[in-house]
Structure 1
Amino acid sequence: MCGRFVVANVGSELVGVLRVDLEGDDLPEPSYNVAPTDRVAIVLDSGKTEPPTRRLEPARWGLVPAWAKDPSIGARAFNARAEDLEDKPMFRRALDKRRAVVPATGYYEWKTVDGEKIPHFIHPAGGEPLFFAGLYEWWKDASKADDDPARWLLSFTILTRDSIGHLGSIHDRMPLFIDHDFADAWLDPTADNVRDILDAAIDAAPSVAETLDDHVVSKAVGNVRNDSPELIEPIDAR
């Protein structure tokens, strides 16, 4: 699973290789301890234009489908198992047309050692951005006026798959990583071979996973109120 991650940069600093056409307003500030229901910037291809417009938009972590009565459902939909998407009404429609890339600096995972949970920071060895495969939805708050910009909530979930290699020794699940060369195919809302695209993403994720480093970090990351660069600094695990 992926329950906490880091976004140390914003805007074009983070997604230059994805060739974003339009950056949204009010992009969230960097965070070293992103938790479910927090806002971060995601990349999506809007199908309302031809060709689609690639946008960097602020979104809340935890998918809220259009049919939800209220946004609270998103608090438990921050991850989605890639293997099960087509069987889940929560995610099926988003998989067809609303796929996203979630840029990050890295993420945290907890390894259980002798009954103790030890946090690790997992990140690209060279400091380049890490991209998670995601799904997004727009939810309309019917209690707000039509001209109220806050009537629309953009939310997302991060896909996961079985872990491989050294990441498997930390946790049995890992985010579904997207190589930047595959981002165009993943984001394309006009694609009709969605099953093939998903299978290709699942199959390609290990090639990214094998390039990642990890190190033990402070247990302070377990408190969502803590948010500073010190959280990703390595510590002696002994």
Structure 2
Amino acid sequence: MCGRYATTRSEADLSDLFDAVDVTEGLGPSWNVAPTDPVPVIRVSASHDDKRVLDTVRWGLVPPWAKDLRGGAKMINARAETVATSRAFAPSFARRRCLVPADGWFEWVRTGKERQAFYLTPADGSVLAFAGIWSVWESLKTCSVLTTAARGGLERVHDRMPLILPPDRWAEWLTGDPVEELLHPMTDRELAAIDMRPVGPAVGNVRNNGPHLIEPPSTPAVEATLF
């Protein structure tokens, strides 16, 4: 699953990386994005001549038919295996797909009575693009991140991971037909470029933020059971 992630690039950098027009609302960097937070996404906008825009949405998709926003916190992820048939997610998969830029994401592994946090991020520092879908509830735009089965050693921290799209798949994801091929996971070679490293416990508190959250812990992490 993906329940916490980091996205710290500026609007200008994201606009350049994704060739998008910036229509965000002054979002700042976050090293600890949590459910219901406002997040940047790249989507295609009819009001901008079907060009890409960098927009701000609420993380946790709320279907148009929902009575209120409360269910959004439980709908931060959509399973790639069922997104095309789910009542809540299928309409967005068919017509409203987006890219969710990230630096990396966090997972936790229980070691005895303790939980060790891990940060998963490209070893070369490149941007990640999570496959996302978005919707509108009243006037509020919301989104979910698609997940798929973890592979390539990443299943050591969780059996699910974000569906990550390399740059050559961005255009098809945003504008292609809603077919099964869109949901292909990363290749083994692409997965090998993901670095998995232990970080300190501070990221577990959503009130904490800052670059220190992705730094190694002050005490040695328990890794023997993983590696």
Q: TM-score, normalised to structure 2's length?
A: 0.91
2:68 is equivalent to residue 84 of structure 1: no
> Counterpart of 1:73 in structure 2: which amino acid?
G
Contact 1:27/1:57, CA 8 A, preserved across alignment: no
Aligned residue number for residue 143 of structure 1: none
TM-aligned CA deviation for residue 49 of structure 1: 5.6
**Residues 33, 224 of structure 1: 8 Å contact kept:** yes
2: distance between equivalents of 1:232 and 1:49? 36
What SS does the aligned partner of 1:111 have? strand
Match of 2:27 in 1: 28
| Correspondence for 2:213 | 231
In structure 1, C-alpha distance between the alignment counterparts of 2:47 and 2:137, rounded to whole Å? 17
State the 1:226 CA deviation: 0.5
Instruction: Confirm or deny that 1:174 pairs with 2:161.
Output: yes
The aligned counterpart of 2:64 is 66
Query: Aligned partners of 2:56 and 2:63: how far apart in 1?
Result: 17
Alignment match, 1:218: 200
User: 2:225 maps to what in 1?
Assistant: none
In structure 2, the residue matched to 1:75 is: 73
CA separation in 2, counterparts of 1:93 and 1:41? 21
Unaligned runs of 5+ in 1: 141-151
Q: How many residues align?
A: 220
CA distance in 2 between counterparts of 1:207 and 1:136 reads 29
Q: Distance in 1 between matches of 2:191 and 2:57?
A: 25
Q: CA deviation at 1:7?
A: 0.9
User: RMSD across aligned C-alpha pairs, in angstroms?
Assistant: 1.6
Which amino acid counterpart does residue 59 of structure 2 have in structure 1? Answer: W
Matches within 5 A, 1:176-215: 176-188=163-175, 191-192=176-177, 194-198=178-182, 201-204=183-186, 206-215=188-197
Cα pair 1:41 1:56 within 8 Å, conserved: yes
Alpha-carbon separation, structure 2, partners of 1:180 and 1:107: 18
* 2:56 partner letter: P
- Give the deviation of 1:4 after TM superposition: 0.3
| TM norm structure 1 | 0.87
User: What secondary structure, in the 3-state scheme, does the structure 1 residue paired with 2:137 have?
Assistant: strand
The structural deviation recorded for 1:237 is 0.7
Give the distance between the partners of 1:45 and 1:207, measured in 2 at CA.
Answer: 29
Structure number with the higher helix fraction is 1
**CA distance in 2: counterparts of 1:205 and 1:132, whole angstroms:** 15
Q: CA deviation at 1:170?
A: 1.0
Q: 1:46-98, CA deviations, whole angstroms, 9 ceiling, x for partnerless residues? A: 24565x21000011000011111111121110011110112210001000010
Q: Give unmatched runs, 5+ long, in structure 2.
A: 223-227
Q: Residue 40 of structure 1 aligns to which amino acid in structure 2? A: V
Q: Note the C-alpha offset of 1:207.
A: 4.3
Read off the aligned partner of 2:119 and give its amino acid letter.
Answer: F
Q: Deviations over 1:138-173 (max 9, x none)?
A: 111xxxxxxxxxxx1111000000000221111110
Residue 2 of structure 1 corresponds to 2
